[in-house]
Chain A
Amino acid sequence: MKGIDQLIIPDVRYAPDHEWARLEGDRVRVGISDYAQDQLGDIVYVELPRVGDTFERGEVFGTVESVKAVSELYIPVGGEILAVNPALEGSPELVNTDPYHEGWMIDVKPGDLKELDALMSQNAYVRMLKGLD
C-alpha cells in the first residue's frame, strides 16, 4: 500500500469514484487512478464494454476484478465507446503497473465536453484523497 505522497497523480481529470479522464484530440481516454489500483490490489480481470455502446455519465461501463473484490467502473464522461484497450484481456496487471498509460481502459466520443470540466482537477483530487485517509 502506498501513502498519498507515493501515489502518481498526473494532471488529468478525476471522478469521485477514482476514474480518470484525459482529452486526446477529439476523444476522451478513461482509466482508473493509481490510488484506485493500489486500493484494489492485484487486478486479475477487467470487463469492458463493446465498441459502439453508449453510456450516460455515471453509468457502469465495466467491472474490475481483484483478488479482493469485483468493483464497478463508472464512466466519468458520457458518450459512445470508440475503443477498448485490447491488452487488458491478457494482461490485466497493466492497470496495476501503469494505470495512466498502458493500463488505459476505454476511449469515449464525448457527448458533452462540459462533463469533463465538471470533474476534479489534479489538486482537487489530492485534496479529496487526503480527506479520505
Chain B
Amino acid sequence: MKESLGTTGLILNEPLLWEKGKSGRCGISLPRHDVDPAPLDKDLTTEGPDLPDLSEVDVVRHYTRLSQWNFGVDSGMYPLGSCTMKYNPKINEKLANLKGFSGAHPLLPAHLSQGVLKLMFELEQFLAEITGMDAVTLQPAAGAHGELTGMMLIHAYHKKKGGHRSKIIVPDTAHGTNPASAALCGYRPVPVRSNEQGILSTGAVAELMDEDTAGIMVTNPNTLGLFEENIKKIAEIVHSKGGLVYCDGANMNAVMGIVSMGEIGVDVLHLNLHKTFSTPHGGGGPGSGPVCVRKHLIPFLPVPRIIEKNGAYALSSEFPESIGKLQAFYGNFGVMIKAYCYIRSMGPVNLRKASQLAVLNANYIKENLKKVFHLPYDRNCMHECVFSDKFQNAYKITTLDMVKRLMDYGFHPPTIYFPLVVSGAMMIEPTETESKETIDLFIDSLKAVANEAKENPDLLRQAPGRCKVTRLDEVSAARHPCLAG
C-alpha cells in the first residue's frame, strides 16, 4: 500500500465564541458619523442582544480552526452510498452568483425576469430529454417533496378516471422516504420483497397488483445499487390493472443518457438535482426535486408553469386540472442555476460518460474487495456496491468498527447499515470523479482494515485513534440528547 493518507497532526481546540469574547474588544472600525447624534425612541430600545465582543483575529482563527476539524469533498474522498454525486464544480457557484440571478426577486413581473424564466424553461427541457420523459416541474423543494408531488399526480390521474385506489406497492429496496411519501398522500404502502438476486420479480408484483392499487414506487437503480432488470414487464403488469409506475430517480446518476425512463414504462419520476446534477448535498443544500412525467400526467402538473410564446417567457396558472401550488414561490432557484450550468458544461456525451465512469468505479471496488468482504449479491452493480460484515463477525467485528478504523486511514466512512435488506451493510459509492490512484488507496486501506480485524480486533473496537475525537458514545447521545447549548 502507498503511504496512508491518514496521519497524526496537531489540531487546535476552540471554544464557543461566547466563551472567547472579552468586553471592549472590537473587530471593525465604524465610519465617522455624518449626522448629528439624536436620542433613540425609548419604546424602540431594549437591552442589547447577547453577543460576544471579539477582535478580528479571534473571529478568523475561530472559523479557520473549526474548518480544520471538518472533512468534506474538498479534503478527501467520501464514499457514502445512496448519496450519489459529490462533485460541486466551483464554476457553478460563480455563475449562480451573477448579479442578474442573485439579485432576482420572485415578485418581479415576468417581463423583468426573462433570463431567470428562460433558464428554468430550458432546464425543464434538458431534464425531460435526459430522462426520456415528456414534461417537467421544477417546483418541489427536495427529493421527498418530489415523491409527494408524484403521488399527488398519480392521485389526480385516478380521480379524473373516476376511480378510488387506496394502496401503493413499495419494494424493500426502495428509498426509505418512499412509503412515507405515499402515506402522506393518503395511500397505504404495501411492501414487496426483492428476490434472491436483489431485484423485483414480476411474480411478486403480479401477486399484489390489483384494481385497488394506484401503482408502484420503485427506486431504479435500487438501493442495493442494482438495476431493476424486470422493470419493463413490471410496468406492463401495473399498467394492465390501470396503475401507474413511479420511479424514484435519486440514483439517476448511474444511467444518464443510457436509460430512457419513459421507454421502460415509468409514468412519473423525480430527480434530485443535489444527487445527479452536481449541486451541493446535505448541509450544503438546499435540495431540489424536479418531477418528470409522461404525456398523460401533464395536465396535473403543479402551477404556476413556465410557458413560452414567441420567445417570451411567463408563469401561467391556467391549468384547471393542476394539483395546485407546492410552495410559496417557485422552487430553490439557486440550485437550478447550478444544475443548468453542469448540464451545459458537460453536454450529452460527457453526461453519459459520467454515468459510465460512476458504474465502472463501483464495479472496480466491488471486484477488488469481494474476497475481503462478504458480497451478498455477486453481480454487476451500478454506481454503488453493498458489502456486509459477515466474514468479520467471526472476530466479533462489526461494520461500525471497520468504518471507524477507516477514518484513521484518511477516508470518510461509507454508508453503513443501509439498505436494511442486508444485515451489517456497508454501502460504497465512489462516484465518477475519484481517480484510479485514490480508489486504489481506498481499496488498500479497506484491505488493511480487514486484516486488522483478524490480527488486532481491539484496535478496531477503539477506533478511530487519529481523529480529533475518538469513539463517541452514540448510545448515550441518542438516549439522552443534549438539545441546549
Chain A residues within CB distance 8 Å of chain B = 1, 39, 42, 44-45, 65, 67-69, 71, 92-93
Contacts and interface: CB of A to CB of B under 8 A. Distances in A.
A131 to B, nearest CB: 13
B417 A69 contact: yes
Please name the 5 residue pairs, one residue from A and one from B, whose CB atoms are nearest each other, closest first: A44-B478, A68-B417, A42-B475, A67-B474, A44-B479
B475 A67 contact: yes
B420 interface: yes
Contacts of B398: 1
13 contacts: A1-B393, A1-B398, A42-B475, A44-B478, A45-B478, A67-B475, A67-B478, A68-B416, A69-B417, A69-B418, A69-B420, A71-B420, A92-B479
B475 A1 contact: no
A125 B292 CA distance: 46
Contacts of A92: 479
B113 interface: no
B61 interface: no
Interface of B: 393, 396, 398, 400, 416-418, 420, 423, 474-475, 478-479
Contact of B396 (A1, A42, A65, A93): A1
A4 to B, nearest CB: 12
Nearest to B481: A44
A111 to B, nearest CB: 19
Contacts of A93: 479
A92 B478 CA distance: 11
Give the residue among B396, B400, B416, B479 with the most A Cβ atoms within 10 A.
Answer: B479
Contacts of A39: 423
B417 to A, nearest CB: 4
A94 B120 CA distance: 54
A65 B393 CA distance: 22
B471 to A, nearest CB: 12
A81 B266 CA distance: 41
Contacts of B423: 39
A71 B172 CA distance: 12
B2 to A, nearest CB: 33
A38 to B, nearest CB: 11
Contacts of B479: 44-45, 92-93
A68 B398 CA distance: 11
